[in-house]
């Protein structure tokens, strides 16, 4: 996987989080870090920073003094009292002052598990530090938050992401068009991990990569196709809109949830009144919820197109 192959090994190599990196380097230079919370969306460097801290602190012994748990898989109180506590209370290897436990997706921990974790953090803080990676820091109980320094990661900006993708493309001997880069960045939407995966998928199809290869590999529709479908529905040309939807679902095999998400993104680019956007957005949320709860994708998407047509008819 290119994600691991090209993962930065040091804090200086981390992409798009300059302010956070400077603060973390200050901790590493003093060889003393507090408990940390890394909060932010996926693919912004939270896990990479945790690994880089361990590598820089412990050098060749970093794997012996660093333990990673995925809290979404092991989220109960038994894990905190068992595996996590067992590692936390053992002495660090070599001349290290403390070990590091990295809890990925820690916001998935149950309240009871978080309460047990709080006690473990408090009891073994002299020989163990915790780094909690979360999407939403508000899901972490206040007693844990107050014990940690919180770092808020932001989506990777397009320039940094593009430069990083160019380095990968050069090393892999890929020929990539400018519209392919733009397409990758549009789909990834600030998630560098997703961008790298999309590029790898495109490379498995062809060494010469353009926008068409990227859309095919990512399993997404072109934005102009989605926009055309919405416009047909808005002009009350429902059958034309439905035909495009059929092509996307049946011939191209695109997921209904992905189509709904693309409609959501493109809605705000349409030159229609804000009041109409609000009504359509309400229906998008309703359709997305129903599909995720197990409703028929085709019926819900046709319902959404019908609602867009009705919203358009109110303006005529």
pLDDT tens by residue, 211-234:
888 888 888 888 899 999 999 999
- With CA atoms as reference, report the closest residue to 33 among 123, 99, 116, 107: 99
The CATH class for the domain spanning 223-313 reads: mainly alpha
In the chain, what are the domain boundaries? 2-152, 158-218, 223-313
Which strands sit side by side in the sheet containing 35-39, from one edge to the other? 66-70, 99-104, 128-134, 35-39, 148-152
pLDDT in tens, 243-293: 999 999 998 889 999 999 999 999 988 888 899 999 999 999 999 999 999
In this prediction, residue 109 carries a pLDDT of 84
Please say whether the beta carbons of 28 and 63 come within 8 A: no
Task: Indicate the CATH number of 158-218 among 1.10.8.60, 3.40.50.170, 1.10.3720.10, 3.30.750.210.
Answer: 1.10.8.60
Residue 42 has pLDDT above 80, yes or no: yes
Q: So what's the pLDDT on residue 77?
A: 66
> Measured between alpha carbons, how far is 17 from 153 in angstroms, rounded to an integer?
7
Confidence at 316, pLDDT banded by 50, 70, 90: low
Average pLDDT value for residue range 84-91: 82
Domain with residues 2-152, CATH architecture: 3-Layer(aba) Sandwich (3.40)
| Average pLDDT score over residue span 26-46 | 91
Residue 76 has pLDDT above 60, yes or no: no
* 4: number of Cβ within 10 Å: 6
């Amino acid at each position: 996987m290119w994600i691991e192959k090209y993962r930065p090994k040091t804090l200086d190599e981390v992409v798009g989080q300059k302010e956070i990196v400077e603060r973390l380097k200050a901790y590493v230079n003093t060889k003393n870090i507090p408990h940390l919370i890394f909060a932010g969306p996926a693919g912004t460097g939270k896990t990479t920073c945790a690994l880089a801290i361990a590598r820089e602190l412990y050098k060749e012994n970093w794997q012996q003094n660093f333990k990673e748990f995925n809290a979404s898989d092991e989220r109960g109180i038994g894990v905190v009292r068992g595996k996590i506590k067992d590692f936390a209370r053992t002495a660090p290897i070599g001349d290290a002052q403390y070990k590091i436990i990295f809890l990925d997706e820690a916001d998935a921990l149950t309240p009871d598990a978080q309460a047990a974790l709080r006690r473990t953090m408090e009891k073994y803080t002299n020989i163990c530090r915790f780094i909690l990676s979360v999407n939403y820091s508000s899901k972490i109980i206040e007693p844990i938050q107050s014990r940690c320094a919180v770092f808020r990661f932001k989506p990777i900006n397009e320039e940094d992401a593009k430069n990083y993708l160019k380095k990968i493309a050069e090393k892999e001997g890929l020929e990539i068009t400018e519209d392919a880069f733009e397409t990758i960045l549009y789909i990834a939407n600030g998630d560098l991990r997703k961008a790298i995966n999309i590029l790898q998928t495109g490379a498995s199809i062809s060494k010469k990569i353009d926008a068409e290869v990227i859309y095919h590999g990512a399993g997404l529709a072109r934005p102009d196709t989605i926009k055309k479908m919405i416009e047909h529905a808005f002009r009350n040309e429902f059958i034309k809109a439905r035909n495009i939807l059929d092509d996307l679902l049946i011939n191209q095999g695109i997921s209904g949830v992905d189509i709904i998400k693309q409609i959501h993104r493109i809605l705000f680019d349409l030159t229609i009144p804000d009041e109409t956007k609000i009504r359509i957005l309400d229906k998008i949320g309703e359709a997305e919820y129903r599909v995720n709860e197990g409703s028929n994708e085709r019926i819900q998407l046709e319902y959404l197109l019908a609602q867009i047509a009705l919203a358009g008819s109110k303006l005529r």
